[in-house]
Chains A and B, each alone.
Chain A
């Protein structure tokens, strides 16, 4: 492998995770950090640390020039971007490569192509991967919209072309409502986004979020099965599982094959995730987007397959071929990950930075806790609220849930409010135990109770 020293361009638990993968591969590490993270676990674990700016991410973890300078000065020959920050920034990938370093991820071109929603949808269509039925371009007028909606079938969503993050969406049940809502939606989009352009998509009423992990080396592509991440709050995943029990063996095979085809279509290199909406009622799945990075929830895949996804992406970036064949990847049992955030579930998930006064982490072969916490650590307020990820494995989903209930009582983080009570309640819920949920389940569930 032509990599010896990896610069970790991230922070928190994922920086710790990348450091661990580098150690396993015998690579030296350079940790860049903001002034707020000088005392972090990631900095303590690294061979070498470089401060790259003040606390705001825009001036540190998003500062491409400072990170490239740190890489040069420290003799790093590769950069791992983690997730978030610059992980899906094509210009960053290009800058790393231009500096003569290996970017641990796909090319800048692949990141840009797959990061553009319309272009990615086209890539999926070209690879024969089903996309959510809807517009291929902006609607010119209400009649064009009515015609399209009739073809794809009601209910449909009228979406603002310039919207995003769930804003600018109206759900309409029939043609009459469509005709009434269309001009209002256009006026509202113009007022909210300065652009009245609209498009239409089929509404999938009870969608589940299922995503396929793929690995590629630019010449060969494999999948590592799927994860289900339907339990979300404000479109943020809070609980993930592998495999997705809602899939039949046939649907699983079709979805995983589709994801591999999509990766092959762009000659993907590294670890990536192809996200789908799964309509349980019809058994159909639809491409949503590709995440061109390691994901927060990658450990559930590692727990059921025994693979080290982070090590694999580093090896590929170092010029090696994938170390495994598709037939080597098998599902063994079930895994669940709970995201432990510094948020107070009793106060509408208000973020609560603070100092960890005591920490007790269960240690066992079927338990993993990916975290940057240590006793005495002061959680800074400048970044996201993720403190750690508790991952539990079981031979079956029922066994995994039973073990999770037990392990949640053994994990203690004192000194600040966390989302452990949320997970304790979810793990005890009969509907969760039955696997009966969709992407809207958690918000409905939260509306009816106090934690």
Chain B
């Protein structure tokens, strides 16, 4: 078992929820399948989905909902 890191493709603002009044795409500790949406990066008023490239378990987010991020910043870790 190893730890896979999920990197942001773009700089911007990271969101864990599709909308402020909705639950997160993935709860902390949830399992993840390839293609699952993990969050959104808002870059210049455009929203880009961050999807899982590998399947894994026990996702742990390292960035808060609504936090400013850089490109290549680690957003989350999961066990693969």
Contacts and interface: CB of A to CB of B under 8 A. Distances in A.
Are A and B a genuine interacting pair, yes or no?
yes
Interface of A: 36, 54-56, 342-343, 350-351, 353, 380-385
Contact of B44 (A36, A55, A56, A351): A351
Given A350-B46, A351-B43, A351-B44, A381 B66 contact: no
B11 to A, nearest CB: 4
B70 to A, nearest CB: 9
B68 A383 contact: no
Contacts of A385: 44-46
A140 B42 CA distance: 40
B48 to A, nearest CB: 8
A353 B44 contact: yes
A342 B44 contact: yes
B26 to A, nearest CB: 22
Contacts of B13: 55-56, 381-382
**Main SS at interface, chain A:** loop
Interface string B1-45: 000000000111100000000000000000000000000001111
Contacts of B42: 381
Contacts, number: 40
B46 A55 contact: no
A56 B45 contact: no
Closest 6 CB pairs of A and B: A351-B44, A385-B44, A381-B12, A381-B11, A381-B43, A55-B68
A36 B70 CA distance: 12
Contacts of A56: 13, 66, 68
Contacts of A343: 44
Contacts of B68: 36, 54-56, 382
22 contacts: A54-B68, A55-B13, A55-B68, A342-B44, A350-B46, A350-B48, A351-B10, A351-B45, A351-B46, A353-B10, A353-B12, A353-B43, A353-B44, A381-B11, A381-B12, A381-B13, A382-B12, A382-B13, A382-B68, A383-B44, A384-B45, A385-B45
A422 to B, nearest CB: 16
Contacts of A382: 12-13, 44, 68
B7 to A, nearest CB: 15
A36 B11 CA distance: 12
Given A351-B45, A383-B44, 20 more contacts: A54-B68, A55-B13, A55-B68, A56-B66, A343-B44, A350-B46, A351-B46, A353-B11, A353-B12, A353-B43, A353-B44, A381-B11, A381-B43, A381-B44, A382-B12, A382-B44, A384-B45, A385-B44, A385-B45, A385-B46
